[in-house]
Amino acid sequence: MNRKRWYVGVVGLLALPVVAASVAYACAALKTLSVGPESGDVGTLVEGRGYGFSDPHGANAKYTSPVRVYFGSTRNQVQTVPSNPVPNEKGVVTFQFRVPQMGPGSYAVIASQTDAAGNESPGGTAKASFTVNPPPSAP
């Protein structure tokens, strides 16, 4: 019986760091992103709205960089309007961009924010999907 209690105690102690890390992760606001329209041709004007970003004047003022927006991968940053979108006091960021020259298919729209050293802000990156339509067929 004592041995069983000892095992239960050891397992309980080993589980504490896992539980603490899980709670810390769950408390971080995850970023979300929506785009509209969700499909269109190359050159389509897309409006984006992200939530959960760090307000540069709030409690996480360490993350003062503007939000960077990428299309397809983090190697393909798109020019946005405004050119350096900054979240408001509620962590909401809005922007527009035109779909870059890409082949037909589904692509990720990625929004991220970092500190001066390039470290990702809490909550990771936000992603949405956009489908580039195939060009119209010639009659």
**pLDDT recorded at residue 123:** 83
Phi, psi of 67 (to 5 degrees): -80, 135
Tell me how many helices (H) and strands (E) the chain has. 1, 8
CA distance 59 to 41: 40
pTM of the model: 0.75
C-alpha dihedral over 110, 115, 121, 127, to 10 degrees?
0
* Interval 77-136: pLDDT, tens: 999 999 989 898 888 999 999 999 999 999 999 999 987 788 888 888 999 999 999 988
3-state secondary structure of 28: coil
52-77: pLDDT as tens digits: 988 777 665 667 678 999 999 999 99
Q: What is the arithmetic mean of pLDDT over 18-38?
A: 70
